[in-house]
C-alpha cells in the first residue's frame, strides 16, 4: 500500500472521516451531511464519535461508494489514534478497496498523522504465517493500493514526514511481532543472529555474532551454562553498534533477554502454557527493533545492543540445580533453579556491555518473572532503576506510547535474599516473595555499580491477548518505547 499525502480532494470512492467527540463534532457532522446529501440531524443522531464507533454510508452521493465515519472518543491521546485505526483497519480489511481517501483536514487531526499511519500499517499483520491455505485478505494491503491522506496545505510537509516515520516504525514492529510469534522450530539463537546481521546490513549498523566457541573464549560462562541443555541449537552472543553521533546525543546500551524457548531446564515448567515460552526472547525482540529503527530513522545516538541468546532445554548435559557456575564478570553463581535462567544470561550481557562500552545509560528488557505479572498483571511492565531521572523519563514515555511501565523498588532491603552460602550470589531467593524485585537485585550485582541503569520486566507484555488473535500473540512491546526514548534523547 502506498501512502500519498495531499492537500487536494481525493478521487477515491471510499472515504473515511475520523471524528473526535468534542465541541466541533456537530459542525463537522453538518459539513459531512452536506457533502453526502443527508440531513445534519440524522447524522448527529446516529453518530456520537465514541472510540472505535463506526458508521457506514453507502452510495450517499454519486461517485462515492462508501463513506465511513470513525469515532475517536473524547480527547484522544496519541496512543488512542494507533488503537482506533489499527482496530478499524484490521476489522474492515476484507471489505476495504484498493483506493481509500482519509480526510484528516476536516477535524484538524494532522498532528496525529504518525500514529494514524502507524495504526493503519500495523493492521496488516496476521498471525497465521504457517497456514498452508493462505487467502488474500482484501485488496487494501496490496502493492497497488493507494491511501490518500488529505491534510491542510500548511501541514503538507510535516504530515509527509510523519507518515514516513509511522510507516517505518510499523514495518519494524511487524517484523518483530513475526519473530516473537515464530515457533521454537523456526526460531533459535542462530535465527536471531541472522535477523540482526540482515538488519544491520540493510539499515547500516555493525553486527558481530559470537558462536559457542567464541563465547567460551570471551568467558560468557553463565550464558553457556544455560545453553548446555540445547545440543542442536547452541547459544549465540550478538553485539550490535550504531554510531550516528555528530555533536549532541548519548551513548546508550541496550541488553535483551534472548531465550528462544524456555522449558525451565531441569527445573522443568508445567506443560500448561509452556508453548508461550517461544516468546521468552521478547526482550531481544525489543532491542533488535530499536537498533533497526535507530538506524532506519538515522537517530542521533550512539547505540549498542547486546543479546545473549540461547534455548533453555532439558538434556543429560543440562545445567543442574546446585551447580556453581562462573560468569563474564568473574563472579560465581549458585544455581538454585534452572528456570531462573533469564537473569543468568542477562548477567553476562550486562557485565559485557558495561565493561566493553561504558554506556551512559543501560537499559535491559526481559520476560523475566511470573512474579512481575502477579504484581502488575498485563497492563504495565515492571520498571526497576537505580536512577530517578531515567526512571521518570521512561515512565512518561510509557504513558505516551501506551507501552506502560510501573516502578517497583530496588531497595537494598531485598539484597540479602540473594546471598548464597557457597557462591558470590544465588539465582533464586528462598523466600517466595518479591520475585520481580529480587531478580532485579540479582542483575544489579552484575552492572558493576553503573549509576544509570533501568531494568524492564516485560513478562506480561511481550506476548498477550488482543483483538487480533484468538490465542495470545506478540505485541512488539518495547520497540515503540525504546524508539521514543531514543528520539527524545
- Binding residues (CB under 6 A) for ligand BES: these are 262, 264, 280, 337, 339-342, 367-371, 428, 435, 459
Closer CB to ligand BES, residue 55 or residue 335? 335
* 336, interface contact from ligand BES, Zn ion, none, CB < 5-8 Å by kind: none
Closer CB to Zn ion, residue 87 or residue 327? 327
Burial class (CB in 10 A: 0-12, 13-18, 19+), 19: buried
Please, what is the minimum distance in Å from the beta carbon of residue 369 to ligand BES?
A: 4
Please, what is the minimum distance in Å from the beta carbon of residue 321 to ligand BES?
A: 10
* 428, interface contact from Zn ion, ligand BES, none, CB < 5-8 Å by kind: ligand BES
Please, what is the minimum distance in Å from the beta carbon of residue 407 to ligand BES?
A: 19
Please, what is the minimum distance in Å from the beta carbon of residue 434 to ligand BES?
A: 11
Q: At what angle do helices 479-488 and 388-401 cross, to 10 degrees?
A: 120
* 370, interface contact from ligand BES, Zn ion, none, CB < 5-8 Å by kind: ligand BES
State the Cα–Cα distance between residues 325 and 333, nearest whole angstrom. Answer: 5
* 459, interface contact from Zn ion, ligand BES, none, CB < 5-8 Å by kind: ligand BES
Sign of CA dihedral 398, 241, 251, 161: negative
State the Cα–Cα distance between residues 286 and 232, nearest whole angstrom. Answer: 25
Closer CB to Zn ion, residue 292 or residue 339? 339
Residue 236 annotated as catalytic:
no
Q: Please report, for residues 175, 338, 368, 476, the alpha-carbon distance to residue 403 in angstroms, rounded to integers and kept in the order given.
A: 18, 30, 17, 10
Closer CB to ligand BES, residue 173 or residue 371? 371
**124 DSSP 8-state letter:** T
Residue 487 annotated as catalytic:
no
> Which residues are at the interface with Zn ion (CB under 5 A)?
259, 262, 280, 339, 341-342
* 337, interface contact from ligand BES, Zn ion, none, CB < 5-8 Å by kind: ligand BES
State the Cα–Cα distance between residues 94 and 90, nearest whole angstrom. Answer: 8
Please, what is the minimum distance in Å from the beta carbon of residue 262 to ligand BES?
A: 5
Q: Which one is catalytic: 343, 404, 426, 441?
A: 343
303 in Cβ contact with 362 (< 8 Å): no
Q: Please report, for residues 93, 143, 147, 388, the alpha-carbon distance to residue 97 in angstroms, rounded to integers and kept in the order given.
A: 8, 12, 10, 50
224 in Cβ contact with 212 (< 8 Å): yes
Q: Which one is catalytic: 13, 250, 269, 415?
A: 269
State the Cα–Cα distance between residues 161 and 264, nearest whole angstrom. Answer: 46
Residue numbers annotated as active site: 269, 343
Amino acid at each position: 500500500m502506498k501512502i500519498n499525502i495531499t492537500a487536494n480532494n481525493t478521487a477515491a470512492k471510499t472515504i473515511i472521516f475520523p471524528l473526535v467527540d468534542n465541541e466541533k463534532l456537530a459542525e463537522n457532522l453538518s459539513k459531512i451531511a452536506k457533502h453526502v446529501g443527508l440531513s445534519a440531524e440524522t447524522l448527529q443522531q446516529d453518530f456520537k464519535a465514541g472510540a472505535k464507533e463506526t458508521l457506514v454510508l453507502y452510495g450517499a452521493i454519486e461517485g462515492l461508494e462508501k463513506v465511513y465515519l470513525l469515532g475517536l472518543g473524547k480527547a484522544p491521546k496519541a496512543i488512542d489514534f494507533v488503537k482506533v485505526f489499527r482496530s478499524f483497519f484490521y476489522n474492515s480489511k476484507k471489505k476495504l478497496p484498493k483506493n481509500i481517501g482519509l480526510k484528516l483536514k476536516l477535524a484538524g487531526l494532522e498532528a496525529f498523522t504518525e500514529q494514524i499511519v502507524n495504526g493503519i500499517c500495523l493492521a496488516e499483520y496476521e498471525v497465521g504465517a504457517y497456514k498452508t491455505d493462505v487467502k488474500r485478505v482484501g485488496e487494501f494491503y496490496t502493492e497497488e493500493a493507494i491511501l490518500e491522506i488529505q491534510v491542510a496545505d500548511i501541514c503538507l510537509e510535516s504530515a509527509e514526514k510523519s507518515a514516513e516515520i509511522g510507516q517505518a516504525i510499523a514495518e519494524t514492529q511487524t517484523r518483530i511481532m513475526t519473530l516473537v510469534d515464530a515457533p521454537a522450530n523456526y526460531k533459535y539463537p542462530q535465527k536471531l543472529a541472522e535477523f540482526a546481521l540482515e538488519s544491520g546490513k540493510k539499515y547500516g549498523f555493525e553486527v558481530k555474532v559470537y558462536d559457542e566457541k567464541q563465547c567460551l573464549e570471551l568467558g560468557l560462562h553463565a550464558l553457556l551454562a544455560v545453553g548446555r541443555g540445547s545440543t542442536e541449537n547452541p547459544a549465540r552472543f550478538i553485539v550490535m553498534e550504531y554510531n550516528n553521533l555528530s555533536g549532541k546525543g548519548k551513548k546508550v546500551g541496550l541488553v535483551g533477554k534472548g531465550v528462544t524457548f524456555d522449558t525451565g531446564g531441569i527445573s522443568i515448567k508445567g506443560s500448561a502454557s509452556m508453548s508461550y515460552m517461544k516468546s521468552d526472547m521478547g526482550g531481544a525482540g525489543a532491542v533488535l527493533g530499536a537498533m533497526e529503527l535507530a538506524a532506519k530513522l538515522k537517530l542521533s545516538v550512539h547505540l549498542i545492543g547486546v543479546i545473549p541468546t540461547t534455548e533453555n532445554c532439558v538434556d543429560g548435559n543440562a545445567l543442574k540445580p546446585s551447580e556453581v557456575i562462573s560468569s563474564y564478570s568473574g563472579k560465581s553463581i549458585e544455581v538454585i533453579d534452572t528456570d531462573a535462567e533469564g537473569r543468568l544470561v542477562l548477567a553476562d550481557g550486562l557485565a559485557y556491555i558495561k565493561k566493553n562500552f561504558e554506556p551512559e545509560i543501560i537499559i535491559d528488557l526481559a520476560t523475566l518473572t511470573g512474579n512481575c505479572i502477579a504484581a502488575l498483571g498485563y497492563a504495565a511492565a515492571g520498571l526497576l532503576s537505580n536512577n530517578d531521572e531515567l526512571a521518570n523519563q521512561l515512565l512518561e514515555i510509557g504513558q505516551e506510547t501506551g507501552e506502560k511501565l510501573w516502578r517497583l523498588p530496588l531497595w537494598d532491603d531485598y539484597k540479602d535474599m540473594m546471598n548464597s552460602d557457597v557462591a558470590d550470589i544465588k539465582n533464586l531467593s528462598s523466600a517466595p516473595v518479591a520475585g520481580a524485585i529480587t531478580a532485579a537485585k540479582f542483575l544489579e550485582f552484575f552492572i558493576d555499580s553503573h549509576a544509570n541503569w533501568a531494568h524492564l520486566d516485560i513478562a506480561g507484555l511481550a506476548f498477550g491477548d488482543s483483538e487480533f488473535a484468538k490465542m495470545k500473540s506478540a505485541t512488539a512491546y518495547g520497540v515503540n518505547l525504546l524508539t521514543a526514548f531514543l528520539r527524545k534523547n
